[in-house]
Structure 1
Amino acid sequence: MIIDIPSTTTEAVNKKLIDVRKTGGVVTLGRVLTLVVCTRDGDNTEHVIDAANEASREHPCRVIVIARGPREAAARLDAQIRVGGDAGASEVVVLRLYGDLADHESSVVVPFLLPDTPVVVWWPEEAPPIPAQHPVGKLAIRRITDATDRENPLAEIKSRLDSYTAGDTDLAWSRVTYWRALLTSALDQPPHLPIESAIVSGLAEEPAVDMIAGWLASRLDAPVARHAGLLYVQLNFVGGGTLTISRPQTEITATLRRTGHPDALIALGRRETRDCLAEELRRLDPDEAYEAALAGLTKVTYE
């Protein structure tokens, strides 16, 4: 069910939420957190809401979407309440801010925060320079950004280190969770040879590849090079021999090759935004491995 409330106030929207809860049986009991999504009002808004809805099936929550409209428009608030099949396992409040109101996101969102539950903020598009100092970011214990598809993804992901505050993370990091797990698992197999160097290759505009390189640089006492081109990670062992995981850019099956061993085919498709978001909502504590990977980027050689 979708209820539109044009040209309204936060008080009127809250009253409508209570009415919907009484008549439809929708309650906030069992909501484990409040997810605030800060985005622009546009063609991508529905995709963002869909991703939040899917993530809420694993983490029942209240989703508050702050969609900023044109600044030149007259100041007004258009709201929308979504419950039932249109809201996953959550209740969704979409707040479209126009004109000067778009500069007051935190003031608009505060009345809708669930009491005594943690707040997570997600910026699916442009993120503030320092998320923890943004007015909405200050409300949250976890702040999620996404460097993917930005104008300069490499500069975007590298800037995360200077602005890092405990509780920050980026979906470029969770997009490579399976790659990191596969590499770790492969290295647990004998023979346990020291690594001499590593090469990480992929699209130049894909920050997830940079995160693999940064993570390896933070873990290995060996040089790590980042190449632009085919998608693969290659570890070169002292004394000869290599371990390589490669995958065509748009396919879902990767090949693991290791000197002296038969090739292995592994399911390793690109992760959807909703899956990455759900993963990040599983933990509300600081992610030290992500911070270390950001620091590791300073050690990576770009070729």
Structure 2
Amino acid sequence: MNIDLTDTTSSKVNSALVKARRAAGYPAIGMVLTLVIVTDEGNHYDALKAASQASKEHPSRILVVIKRHGRTPRDRATARLDAEVRVGSEAAAGETILLRLHGELANHAQSVVLPLLLPDAPVVVWWPEDAPDKPSEDLLGQLAARRITDASAAEDPVGALSHRADTYAPGDTDLAWTRITPWRSVLAAALDQKHSPITGAVVEGEEYNPSSELLALWLAERLGVPVERDVSAGPGITAVRLMTKDGVICLDRPDGSLAELAVPGQPDRHVALQRRTTAELIAEELRRLDPDEAYEQAVSFGVQRLATRGTVPKLGTVPTHAPVRSAELSTEPSAEPVAVEDPVEPPAPNRAPAKKAAKKTAKKAPPAKKTAKKAPGKGPAK
């Protein structure tokens, strides 16, 4: 069932929702949480499709907040709420409400969302793109137990990841971290087996891929070894290599689907590492609503520890040679910036032994004889 409401209020939306639920034949509420999606008109379809698929695993009330500030001063001065209520087969395994906030009302989305939240149920807020600078201080973010962002949707993904580390609060998470869950699981299982101590690691992936940076940070924080970043053509993360005294533990996924795990002294194994859809990522995040301590430790380890090295291919180009080593992650604590001084020349080597040897050879050498040359037709030279 689909109900359209124009120039309405939150109370009228709630009444229409109850009426639609009774007409569909299930007056009881069977949802486990409220998922609030904050997006725009151009991206709400993909976000709603992913959330609807995730609701099959987590039945929830989905509130899609679409802010339409208006282009003209007159549109920005008005305040109007248009809603669309979907119940039954139109809303997968839950309830869906599209809220279009026009004009000044777009700045007060929390006042519209608050009456529509499920009673005594957790709230999750998801920004598919254009996340606020501090999600935990956002008026909608303050209503939520979990706040989901996506650094890969930003113009500068690595910069956005660094900003997430500076503004982290318990309950924050990012889909760039969710994407590396299968990688972390396979690597942890490989390290559970008997192996020699790890001396270093290399993470290979696309240049502008925040998941590669997070995986490198996680390995450096957990293993306490230097981790280097190599740039490849992708897709996503392509390989992880762990250096040991017995050889290299390599997890290689060149095609974004099937990976090969090579462990010294064991036969190579194939591992399914399919790149997952947004719906699968959201479903994973909704499985646990407590703060993600592993994400906090990894992102707080410091993206600024990645120091650029060598030449990095430009965005959109495919390197025609071997992957370029572009960054190295140090495990030592970061220090304050130090002013660069003039380079100091190294001390001159000690030449005293060489001088003594030269004197000895000079004493042993016979003195040179002085000879006089006669000019033709003249007497001896004076």
- With the shorter chain as reference, the TM-score category is over 0.9
Q: Is the 8 A contact 1:213 1:300 kept in 2?
A: no
8 A contact 1:59–1:281 mirrored in 2: yes
Selected match of 2:169 from 165, 171, 186: 165
Amino acid of the structure 1 residue aligned with 2:243: N
The alignment yields a C-alpha RMSD, in angstroms, of: 1.6
- The one-letter amino acid of 2:250's match is T
Instruction: Normalising by structure 1, report the TM-score.
Output: 0.94
Question: Is the Cα contact below 8 Å between 1:244 and 1:258 reproduced in 2?
Answer: yes
Tell me the CA shift for residue 70 of structure 1: 4.1
Is 2:59 the counterpart of 1:52? no
Give 2:86's aligned residue.
Answer: 82
Query: Structure 1: how far apart are the matches of 2:207 and 2:2?
Result: 41
2:151 partner SS:
coil
Gaps of 5+ in 2: 309-325, 327-382
- Aligned 1:19-168 pairs, distance under 5 A: 19-27=19-27, 29-42=29-42, 44-72=43-71, 73=75, 74-168=78-172
Question: For the residues of structure 1 that align with 2:101 and 2:162, how far apart are their CA atoms?
Answer: 31
**1:239-278 equivalences in 2 (<5 Å):** 239-249=245-255, 251-278=256-283
- The more displaced of 169-178 and 70-79 is 70-79
2:216 paired with 1:213: yes
In the alignment, structure 1 residue 236 sits paired with structure 2 residue 239: no
CA distance in 2, matches of 1:196, 1:31: 49
Counterpart code for 1:39: T
> How far off its partner does 1:85 sit?
1.6
Deviates more, 1:22-31 or 1:225-234: 22-31
Counterpart position of 2:199: 196
Query: Who is 2:14 aligned against?
Result: 14
CA deviation profile, 1:248-298 (whole Å, cap 9, x unmatched): 25x311111223333221110111111111111111111100001102344
Matched with 1:227 is: 230
**Higher Cα Rg, which structure:** 2
Higher relative contact order (CA 8 A, sep 6+): 1
**Quick one: distance in 1 between partners of 2:65 and 2:97?**
9
Partner amino acid for 1:286?
P
| Stretches of structure 1 lacking an aligned partner (at least 5 in a row) | none
User: For residues 130 and 202 of structure 2, what CA distance do their matches in structure 1 show?
Assistant: 30
TM-score when normalising by structure 2: 0.75
1:301 Cα deviation after fit:
4.5
Provide the identity percentage. 47
2:372 is aligned to none
Q: Distance in 1 between matches of 2:190 and 2:17?
A: 51
Aligned residue pairs, count: 299
- Amino acid across the alignment from 1:278: A
- Structure 1 segments (4+ residues) deviating >6 Å: none
Q: Say yes or no: does 1:184 pair with 2:188.
A: yes
Partner SS for 1:148:
helix
Q: Report the Cα offset of residue 210 of structure 1.
A: 1.3
Q: Distance in 1 between matches of 2:49 and 2:225?
A: 42
Matched letter for residue 141 of structure 1:
A
